[in-house]
Amino acid sequence: MSAVIELPREQVDSSPSGLLAMAVQRGADPVQLGQLLDLKERYDREEARKAYAEAMTAVQNGAPVIAKDALNKQTASHYAKLEAINAGLVPVYTRHGLSLSFSQGEAEKPEHIRIQCQITHKLGHTENRYVDLPLDMTGIAGTVNKTAIHATGSTYSYGRRYLTCMIFNVS
């Protein structure tokens, strides 16, 4: 026999975690506990997603202007090195609970590399982005100017630079 315990309204934790704890204390059956656990997991995922969106907005609002600190002599154009992009953005996005993790994926086109980035918020929400880039084997004149290893490293660097800027909407 179970008794109903009346609690003052201000003492009831009506969050999914609170409801789950109350159900356990009251000896709820496994089906009810499973339903409450599902509710809690959905609630936690939604809270993490909202925190991720809030953090992305905060990062974009607080991102510094990234100086173009390098010169491409072949094209006579300036660009920001990966080091400059990271120096400007890592402190901002980590302060808001975000982290980036890069890896290589399977590109659909031959002679291309897929650079993948997993963006994770400290509450657990994760989003994945990628860019497929051709191997950087040649210079502006179209002649091969790198070994395959150097071309791969250069493509990784380009991919990480472009993808990081795309993720945080940095010009």
Q: In the chain, what percentage of residues exceed pLDDT 90?
A: 65
Query: What pTM, to 2 d.p., does this model score?
Result: 0.81
Predicted pLDDT of residue 4? 63
Write down the residue that tokens 């980036």 correspond to: 100
Residue 2 has pLDDT above 60, yes or no: no
- CA-to-CA distance for 148 and 13, rounded, in angstroms? 60
Q: What is the pLDDT of residues 4-62, one digit of tens each?
A: 666 566 667 777 777 778 878 888 788 887 888 888 899 999 999 999 999 999 999 99
Residue 68 has pLDDT above 60, yes or no: yes
- CA-to-CA distance for 106 and 56, rounded, in angstroms? 27
Strands 98-105 and 112-121: antiparallel
**What are the start-end ranges of the E strands in the chain?**
70-72, 77-79, 98-105, 112-121, 126-134
Whether the CB-CB separation of 36 and 26 falls below 8 Å is answered with no
